[in-house]
């Protein structure tokens, strides 16, 4: 086989050289220019491109050494820079700067409030904790970098003239690197050589984008023959390419040979760092990007950072706290000034020489230091810790784990968990998000004739029935990723057919029964996808390539033109894709030599000449066109474009019931030959007619046994495939896999692929080599894919195109001179609409035959676009649009995309939760509406408001009509239905314009849901931005493909689904899930909990800070506003930093205001949190007022209890501090909805830590808090009963109002659904109690006691 490839490759090169028309040969107009540019081009980065020479080649003196090396360094610090850089980063936070300012301020003698060291404790603790965390993270990055940089690879050494092993970090731009199979690519390399004689290699990009299907890469064209050892010394080319960027799907540049010939470079020529070479013995590449310039490193941005709405509100409240602090300090400053002014005789030392104003100024700054706790520095650190704890529990939730894919939820954005509880609008893609994106071929239409594939439909129904039987039972599955044994439960059946779990279950059961394990599973090749049952009618027509026996006249045969359409249709399915072919026994993706030798072109032409004399023209149930002309030209006309001068046509009919009756009538007269149509052909025509009549006589003799022969052929199609030789198809999309498998069911098989051609099987012809000239890949602008090939039968240049019907139908000529083309177009459009109403995904197939001159003209523009660096995308788009015009419509396909499990239940729950769900899809309107009905976004009584306008004025008029219609529906006395707005892409473009936005928003707000069809990725992001900015709501976007990335990044919360559409959406998302159903628990449970926990925790932090600071403030009224405190400085600093800091963390991570089951069963509870808004401005002020009240009680109850006594200030402060601690801790108990042993343990430890600290402090610390002496104070106070009486009375008086108001509020406003929950709990408890006591007492069963056992009497 390799020798055959070698001969074919060499012949192509010789032919290309002789005719002067290679794929990348330089146009004549460019020759002089390129030769001049060889010497004048810059040798380094200039503008937007870089120049690369071989580092050890003949131009090594011109090599550029300014490019980055291949060593990577993802660490932020070194041993020398850690402390200064980390401090610099931490002091970017305003809170840290504030406390640094206070620490420095306390060193000023005139405003000093505490010991200089004490005020630095809070700042040092926070800085140290964060620095340790940063150091550990950076050390892990350092270990990873060292491991990667020390990996070994073979690089060419100029001195030794051989490949030697180097570390990755020593590889440079311009090095030649040789890799073997299963080696990881160390840098972005230009592929120059591969051991595959076809010049291709395969890479696994799972490390880069998570996609497991293999990608094909090809050697730069016009390089020396592959399969022969590459010599690095002879490489003298110059590479010009774009500067490094992070676009994984784009690479622009050209390679200039010493002769001046330029060869365009593409993404298919580039091997990306971190990918793995697969199924290729060896490759050699030239490093063009190294280290941090590689695309993999430029895409490594780390965790995403977004500011949540709660964080924004917190910043506002912190500013209010600052304002409150300033007011309190000003009050103290003014009070101290007035006190000094009115002081007559000082009983203690006072500086009487200082003016009251200056003294008040100093006291202002002293009070800033004393009341610094009012600004919650520890709150920011606590929020980060709490969010990490919340993410841990979300990440380990088994309900969000997919055991089929062995994947769990990924939390990529670490600081917006609470936003999950505030979602108001959800924007969802359809394909791959609501559906499986696992396509199954269902039916097709060719030549305007619909082939329903009824047996295929029954096959899918059998799968669905099997799924229903298997629902609920547990089976053992083997993960495709890890190979571990997993257990899964199945849910209800989805749209049209079974869900993916049953499919994977059947696959794995087959694997377990087989004795030989498959070395590699191919992407999108499930059993339900592969086992397509052919349509009998279409199969009979294709069997003309297998046998010369005519079919039964009752079923009819194919006309010559129809046969052309059928063959071209299946040929397009086989070759218009990027599918990689492999075999279980051939891991190298090289299809083994076939036993059937290749038929020569002459043999095939002779076969078709023989078929020309068969009665195609008359012997047809569809009244086919009559063939004119000599038989020698039939092959070219058969697979040609079908011009008006070649054929005369009659109109085909659809395969409806009426059409079948007509076909039967036509079949009865199939042997009547219209000889008059051939009179103008002269004697030659008469000769052809006589020969045709002879064939008709032979046909009559064979009609009796024709049906039996065709049945045998049909059975052969199902039996001839040997499982051992089964081909594996690695497709980049499930659509491609489904179509290739459908063609394979009709024995139109893709057997091999190379950079220059394909090997295909057609029925009755054996393997055919198809020369591949160009591939125009699919993109979201064109919405189609095309391949340019040289037809294997006619030698013509043919363009095969597949894509969305909206763009293909626009490129097919309307009002054609040939009536049959118009009829084909009309019938195909009718079938497209029918498929869409069934919810099928549709693709149109078309072709175009190019004349040689036309192809040459297009080729010049294409080569120019390919060799351009700037504006390459625009030039390639223009070239593709010039080619993809005036297409001949071949047919269309209908593919089932099954709905994911539990999607209807999830959407229904989200709507009950008050979340508006929008579908933004690129599919047809009918398909989107059908899926919306299937997933219960639309209900039977909902009313559709459809907007499909081609002009701006028409849209404005229609919008007014829709608003009136919607208003009339709301004003009617009957129950108002929900309104669903449906827009197509053109209408959406008008709706997004500035002057139409307000009307569109007004109408959409009144609608239950909105469906945007035919929308582009840019339109999706604009819709999300419009709703988010104009309505000020919290949005969530969910998608699974690259076309959803812009929408996901635009939304406040982006969710990616790791499905069949690759990992681009996941890499751009904030949260990544594997199934749409996981949104239900993620939002309704975890979102609800996270928001409620964080909101209440922030309010609690503000409460305890304000409450404790006010104790110090009230004391100023009794000490002349001097800034003195009634507690030692250590307790003052550590009260909020340590003693009361841990319980809020446990509260923020573990508190559950509502059980998860209640939140899932009653989604309305999610809406209640949105409407009540736990953390809103008025709640902040209520919390502050409550803190003021509790501080008044906590201060003045001890004050009046010891009034008139001779207690010291520390003795007075001891019961105040103890009471404050008890109040703060018990306040959290009142606010908590969940109390576990962890809560109790933390509360006890916090109280015990405080009392233990103050007792030890009073026993041993003599000079710890000058000028006061705390020795013996606490031990003396705690030995007196009055201390405990004060603590109890103070705590009860402070908490009693909050406890009373909480009980009153819960009584007047019980949580929605709690009555049902309580009654259900009560019913279960009573049944359990009755059951226990009935067994003991053997009571008889009665209606009032359903839990009792029936009496035996």
What does the alpha-carbon distance between residue 954 and residue 1070 come to, in Å, rounded to a whole number? 39
pLDDT reported for residue 1350 = 42
pLDDT reported for residue 1171 = 62
What does the alpha-carbon distance between residue 590 and residue 280 come to, in Å, rounded to a whole number? 10
Q: What angle do CA 421, 427, 432 make, to 5 degrees?
A: 110
Identify whether the C-beta of residue 97 lies closer than 8 Å to the C-beta of residue 351: no
Summarize pLDDT for 423-432 with one digit per residue, the tens. Answer: 999 999 888 7
Cβ-based neighbour number of residue 966 at 10 Å: 19
Strand ranges (E), 205-269: 215-218, 238-242, 253-256, 262-265
The label of the residue with tokens 């994984």 reads 248
Summarize pLDDT for 1288-1334 with one digit per residue, the tens. Answer: 999 999 999 888 888 887 787 765 545 554 555 666 667 776 777 66
DSSP 8-class letter at 1262:
S
Which of the residue ranges 318-327, 420-429, 721-730 would you say has the lowest mean pLDDT?
721-730
Identify whether the C-beta of residue 52 lies closer than 8 Å to the C-beta of residue 241: yes
pLDDT reported for residue 346 = 60
Q: Given pLDDT bands bounded at 50, 70 and 90, which one contains residue 490?
A: very low
Percentage of the chain modeled with pLDDT above 70: 72
Per DSSP, what are the bridge partners of residue 980?
944, 1009
Cβ-based neighbour number of residue 546 at 10 Å: 17
Give the count of alpha carbons within 13 A of 1007, CB side only. Answer: 27
In this predicted structure, the answer to whether residue 1343 has a pLDDT above a threshold of 50 is no
Give the count of alpha carbons within 13 A of 1067, CB side only. Answer: 19
Residue 985 or residue 1, greater confidence: 985
Summarize pLDDT for 892-951 with one digit per residue, the tens. Answer: 999 887 788 889 999 999 999 999 999 998 887 888 888 888 888 888 788 888 888 767
Cβ-based neighbour number of residue 734 at 10 Å: 26
Structure tokens at 1235: 């109390």
Cis before 1267? omega within 30 = yes
Identify whether the C-beta of residue 169 lies closer than 8 Å to the C-beta of residue 201: no
- Compute the average pLDDT of residues 567-588: 80
First to last CA, the chain: 86
Q: Given pLDDT bands bounded at 50, 70 and 90, which one contains residue 149?
A: very high
Residue 147 or residue 1263, greater confidence: 147
Q: Given pLDDT bands bounded at 50, 70 and 90, which one contains residue 280?
A: confident
Q: What angle do CA 845, 850, 853 make, to 5 degrees?
A: 160
Percentage of the chain modeled with pLDDT above 90: 20
What does the alpha-carbon distance between residue 734 and residue 216 come to, in Å, rounded to a whole number? 17
Identify whether the C-beta of residue 1027 lies closer than 8 Å to the C-beta of residue 1050: no
Q: Among candidates 540, 681, 688, which has minimal Cα distance to 615?
A: 688
pLDDT reported for residue 892 = 95
**Could you give the 3-state DSSP secondary structure of residue 154?**
strand
Distances (CA, A) of 86 to 95, 624, 1344: 16, 81, 71
Structure tokens at 609: 């000449």
What does the alpha-carbon distance between residue 991 and residue 45 come to, in Å, rounded to a whole number? 44
In this predicted structure, the answer to whether residue 13 has a pLDDT above a threshold of 50 is no
Summarize pLDDT for 828-862 with one digit per residue, the tens. Answer: 999 998 988 887 888 999 999 999 999 999 999 99
Identify whether the C-beta of residue 689 lies closer than 8 Å to the C-beta of residue 675: yes
pLDDT reported for residue 469 = 58
Per DSSP, what are the bridge partners of residue 439?
897
Of 57-66, 367-376, 1126-1135, 1278-1287, the range with the highest mean pLDDT is 1278-1287
Summarize pLDDT for 467-478 with one digit per residue, the tens. Answer: 555 544 433 333
The label of the residue with tokens 């529906």 reads 969
The label of the residue with tokens 């010291």 reads 1208
What does the alpha-carbon distance between residue 799 and residue 526 come to, in Å, rounded to a whole number? 30
Cβ-based neighbour number of residue 1348 at 10 Å: 19
pLDDT reported for residue 694 = 40
Q: Among candidates 100, 86, 94, 91, which has minimal Cα distance to 134?
A: 86
Q: Distance of alpha carbon 576 from its chain centroid, rounded?
A: 26
Identify whether the C-beta of residue 904 lies closer than 8 Å to the C-beta of residue 495: no
In this predicted structure, the answer to whether residue 888 has a pLDDT above a threshold of 90 is yes
In this predicted structure, the answer to whether residue 45 has a pLDDT above a threshold of 60 is no
Catalytic residue among 429, 761, 897, 923: 429
Structure tokens at 227: 């399969």
Q: pTM score, two decimals?
A: 0.68
- Compute the average pLDDT of residues 228-238: 81
Residue 150 or residue 1303, greater confidence: 150
What does the alpha-carbon distance between residue 1112 and residue 627 come to, in Å, rounded to a whole number? 106
Give the count of alpha carbons within 13 A of 582, CB side only. Answer: 25
Summarize pLDDT for 770-829 with one digit per residue, the tens. Answer: 999 989 988 777 889 999 999 988 889 999 999 988 889 888 887 655 788 888 999 999
> If you average pLDDT over every residue of the chain, what do you get?
74
What does the alpha-carbon distance between residue 99 and residue 1250 come to, in Å, rounded to a whole number? 24
In 429-455, which positions are buried (b, 16+ CB within 10 angstroms) versus exposed (e)? bbbbbbbbbbbbbbbbbbbbbbbebee
pLDDT reported for residue 1178 = 79
Q: Compute, in degrees rounded to 10, the torsion defined by CA atoms 991, 995, 1000, 1001.
A: 130
Q: Which ranges constitute the DSSP H helices of 486-535?
A: 500-513, 527-530
What does the alpha-carbon distance between residue 1013 and residue 983 come to, in Å, rounded to a whole number? 6
213: left (phi over 0), alpha (psi -120 to 50) or beta: beta
Q: CB neighbours of 1280 closer than 8 A, spacing ≥ 6?
A: none
In this predicted structure, the answer to whether residue 649 has a pLDDT above a threshold of 90 is no
Which of the residue ranges 110-124, 495-509, 600-614 would you say has the lowest mean pLDDT?
495-509
Which of the residue ranges 106-110, 189-193, 538-542 would you say has the lowest mean pLDDT?
106-110
- Phi and psi angles of residue 1346, each rounded to the nearest 5 degrees, phi first: -65, -15
Strands 1071-1073 and 1053-1057, sheet pairing = parallel
pLDDT reported for residue 1255 = 86
- Compute the average pLDDT of residues 961-984: 71
The label of the residue with tokens 């029925």 reads 763
Strands 200-204 and 215-218, sheet pairing = antiparallel
Residue 301 or residue 1073, greater confidence: 1073
Catalytic-residue membership of 170: no
- Compute the average pLDDT of residues 977-988: 85
Q: Among candidates 118, 89, 87, which has minimal Cα distance to 102?
A: 118
Give the count of alpha carbons within 13 A of 374, CB side only. Answer: 29
What does the alpha-carbon distance between residue 1285 and residue 1289 come to, in Å, rounded to a whole number? 6
In this predicted structure, the answer to whether residue 632 has a pLDDT above a threshold of 50 is no
**Could you give the 3-state DSSP secondary structure of residue 761?**
strand
Identify whether the C-beta of residue 1070 lies closer than 8 Å to the C-beta of residue 306: yes
pLDDT reported for residue 31 = 34
Identify whether the C-beta of residue 285 lies closer than 8 Å to the C-beta of residue 191: yes
What does the alpha-carbon distance between residue 1007 and residue 439 come to, in Å, rounded to a whole number? 32
Q: Given pLDDT bands bounded at 50, 70 and 90, which one contains residue 176?
A: very high
In this predicted structure, the answer to whether residue 179 has a pLDDT above a threshold of 90 is yes
Q: Among candidates 1299, 1153, 1135, which has minimal Cα distance to 1226?
A: 1299
Which of the residue ranges 483-497, 751-765, 1067-1081 would you say has the lowest mean pLDDT?
483-497
What does the alpha-carbon distance between residue 1038 and residue 1024 come to, in Å, rounded to a whole number? 11
Structure tokens at 1002: 């007004």
Q: Compute, in degrees rounded to 10, the torsion defined by CA atoms 1045, 1047, 1051, 1053.
A: -40
Cβ-based neighbour number of residue 1008 at 10 Å: 17
């Amino acid at each position: 086989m390799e020798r055959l490839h070698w001969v074919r490759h060499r012949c192509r090169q010789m032919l290309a050289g002789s005719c002067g028309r290679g794929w990348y040969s330089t146009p004549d107009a460019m020759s002089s220019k390129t030769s001049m540019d060889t010497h004048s081009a810059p040798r380094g980065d200039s503008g937007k491109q870089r120049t690369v020479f071989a580092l050890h080649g003949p131009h090594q003196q011109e090599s550029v050494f300014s490019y980055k090396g291949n060593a990577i360094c993802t660490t932020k610090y070194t041993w020398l820079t850690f402390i200064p850089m980390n401090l610099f980063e931490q002091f970017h936070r305003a809170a840290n700067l504030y406390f640094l300012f206070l620490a420095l301020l306390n060193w000023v003698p005139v405003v000093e409030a505490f010991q200089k060291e004490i005020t630095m404790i809070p700042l040092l603790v926070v800085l140290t904790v964060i620095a340790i965390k940063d150091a550990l993270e950076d050390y892990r990055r350092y270990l990873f970098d060292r491991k990667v940089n020390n990996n070994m690879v073979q690089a060419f050494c100029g001195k030794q003239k051989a490949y030697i092993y180097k570390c990755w970090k020593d590889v440079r731009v311009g090095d030649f690197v040789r890799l073997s199979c299963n080696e990881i690519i160390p840098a972005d390399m230009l592929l120059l050589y591969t051991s595959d004689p076809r010049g291709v290699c395969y890479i696994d990009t799972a490390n880069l984008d998570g996609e497991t299907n293999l990608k094909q890469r090809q050697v730069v064209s016009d390089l020396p023959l592959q399969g022969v050892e590459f010599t690095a010394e002879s490489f003298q080319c110059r590479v010009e390419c774009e500067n490094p960027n992070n676009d994984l799907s784009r690479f622009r540049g050209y390679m200039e040979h010493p002769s001046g010939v330029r060869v365009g470079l593409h993404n298919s020529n580039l091997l990306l760092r971190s990918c793995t070479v697969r199924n290729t013995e060896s490759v050699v590449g030239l490093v063009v990007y190294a280290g941090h310039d590689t695309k993999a490193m430029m895409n490594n941005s780390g965790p995403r950072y977004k500011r949540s709405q709660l964080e924004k509100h917190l910043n506002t409240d912190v500013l209010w706290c600052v304002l409150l602090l300033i007011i309190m300090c000003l009050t103290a400053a003014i009070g101290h000034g007035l006190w000094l002014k009115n002081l007559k005789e000082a009983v203690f030392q006072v500086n009487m020489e200082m003016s009251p104003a200056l003294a008040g100024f100093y006291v202002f700054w002293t009070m800033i230091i004393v009341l610094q706790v009012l600004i919650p520095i520890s709150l920011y650190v606590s929020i980060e810790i709490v969010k990490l704890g919340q993410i841990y529990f979300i990440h380990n939730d088994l309900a969000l784990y997919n055991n089929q894919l062995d994947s769990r939820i990924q939390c990529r954005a670490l600081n917006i968990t609470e936003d999950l509880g505030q979602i108001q609008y959800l924007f969802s893609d359809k394909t791959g998000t609501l559906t499986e994106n696992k396509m199954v071929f269902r039916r097709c239409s060719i030549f305007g004739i619909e082939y329903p594939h009824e047996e295929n439909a029954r096959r899918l129904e059998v799968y669905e029935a099997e799924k229903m039987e298997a629902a609920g039972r547990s089976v053992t599955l083997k993960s495709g990723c890890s190979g571990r044994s997993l257990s899964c439960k199945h849910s209800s059946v989805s749209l049209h057919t079974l869900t993916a779990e049953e499919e994977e279950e059947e696959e794995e059961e087959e694997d377990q029964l087989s004795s030989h394990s498959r070395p590699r599973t191919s992407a999108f090749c499930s059993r339900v996808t592969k086992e397509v049952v052919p349509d009998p009618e279409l199969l009979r027509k294709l069997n003309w390539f297998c046998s010369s026996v005519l079919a039964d006249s009752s079923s009819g045969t194919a006309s010559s033109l129809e046969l052309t359409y059928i063959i071209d249709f299946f040929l397009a399915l086989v070759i218009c894709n990027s599918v990689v072919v492999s075999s279980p026994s051939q891991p190298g993706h090289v299809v083994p030599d076939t036993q059937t030798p290749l038929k020569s072109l002459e043999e095939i032409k002779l076969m078709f000449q023989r078929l020309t004399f068969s009665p195609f023209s008359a012997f047809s149930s569809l009244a086919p066109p009559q063939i004119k002309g000599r038989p020698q030209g039939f092959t070219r006309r058969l697979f040609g474009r079908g011009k008006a001068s070649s054929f005369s046509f009659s109109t085909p009919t659809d395969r409806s019931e009426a059409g079948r009756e007509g076909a039967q009538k036509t079949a009865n007269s199939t042997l009547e030959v219209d000889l008059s149509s051939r009179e103008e052909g002269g004697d030659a025509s008469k000769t052809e007619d006589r020969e045709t009549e002879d064939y008709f006589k032979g046909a009559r003799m064979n009609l009796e046994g024709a049906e039996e022969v065709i049945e045998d052929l049909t059975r052969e199609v199902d039996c001839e495939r040997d499982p051992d030789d089964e081909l594996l198809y690695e497709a980049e999309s499930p659509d491609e896999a489904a179509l290739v498998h459908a063609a394979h069911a009709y024995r139109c098989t893709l057997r091999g692929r190379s950079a220059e051609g394909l090997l295909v099987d057609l029925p009755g012809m054996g393997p055919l080599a198809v020369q591949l000239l160009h591939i125009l890949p699919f993109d979201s602008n064109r919405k189609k894919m095309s391949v340019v090939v040289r037809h294997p039968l006619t030698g013509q240049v043919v363009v095969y195109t597949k894509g969305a019907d909206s763009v293909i139908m626009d490129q097919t000529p309307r009002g054609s001179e040939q009536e049959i083309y118009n009829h084909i177009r009309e019938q195909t459009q009718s079938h497209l609409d029918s498929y869409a109403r069934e919810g099928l995904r549709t693709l149109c197939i078309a072709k175009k035959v190019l004349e040689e001159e036309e192809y040459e003209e297009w080729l010049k523009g294409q080569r120019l676009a390919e060799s351009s660096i700037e504006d390459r995308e625009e030039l390639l788009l223009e070239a593709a649009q010039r080619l993809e015009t005036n297409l001949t419509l071949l047919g269309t396909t209908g593919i089932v995309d099954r709905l994911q499990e539990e999607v209807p239940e999830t959407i229904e729950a989200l709507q009950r939760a008050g979340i508006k769900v929008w579908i933004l899809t690129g599919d047809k309107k009918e398909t989107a509406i059908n899926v919306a009905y299937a997933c219960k976004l639309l209900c039977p009584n909902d009313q559709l408001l459809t907007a499909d306008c081609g002009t701006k004025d028409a849209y404005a008029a229609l919008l007014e009509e829709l608003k009136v219609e919607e208003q009339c529906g709301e004003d009617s006395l009957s129950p108002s239905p929900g309104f669903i707005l449906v827009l197509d892409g053109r209408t959406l473009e008008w709706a997004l314009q500035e002057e139409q936005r307000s009307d569109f928003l007004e109408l959409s707000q009144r609608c239950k849901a909105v469906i945007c069809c035919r929308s582009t990725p840019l339109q999706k992001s604009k819709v999300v931005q419009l709703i988010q900015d104009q309505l000020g709501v919290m949005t969530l976007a969910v998608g699974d493909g690259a076309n959803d990335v812009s929408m996901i990044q635009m939304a406040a919360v982006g969710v990616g689904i790791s499905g069949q559409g690759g990992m681009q959406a996941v890499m751009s998302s904030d949260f990544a899930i594997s199934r749409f159903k996981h949104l239900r628990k993620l939002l309704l449970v975890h979102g609800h909990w996270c928001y409620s926990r964080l909101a209440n925790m922030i309010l609690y932090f503000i409460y305890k800070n304000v409450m404790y600071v006010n104790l110090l403030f009230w004391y100023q009224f009794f000490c002349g506003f001097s800034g003195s405190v009634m507690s030692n400085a250590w307790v003052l600093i550590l009260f909020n930093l340590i003693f009361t800091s841990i319980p809020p963390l446990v509260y923020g991570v573990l508190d559950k205001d509502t059980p998860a089951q209640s939140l899932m069963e009653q989604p309305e509870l999610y809406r209640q949190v949105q409407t009540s808004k736990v953390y809103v401005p008025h709640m902040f002020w209520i919390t502050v007022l409550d803190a003021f009240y509790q501080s008044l009680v906590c201060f003045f109850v001890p004050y009046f209890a010891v009034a008139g006594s001779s207690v010291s200030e520390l003795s007075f402060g001891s019961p105040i501090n103890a009471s404050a601690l008890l109040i703060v801790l018990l306040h959290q108990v009142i606010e908590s909805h969940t109390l576990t042993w962890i809560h109790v343990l933390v509360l006890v430890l916090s109280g015990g830590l405080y009392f233990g600290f103050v007792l030890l402090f009073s026993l041993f610390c003599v000079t710890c808090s000058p000028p006061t002496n705390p020795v013996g104070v606490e031990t003396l106070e705690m030995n007196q009963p009055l201390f405990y009486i004060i603590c109890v009375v103070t705590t009860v008086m402070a908490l009693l109002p909050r406890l009373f108001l909480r009980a009153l509020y819960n009584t007047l406003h019980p949580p929605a659904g709690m009555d049902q929950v309580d009654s259900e709990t009560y019913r279960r408890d009573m049944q359990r109690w009755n059951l226990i006591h009935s067994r003991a007492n053997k009571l008889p069963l009665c209606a009032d006691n359903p839990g009792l056992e029936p009496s035996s009497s």
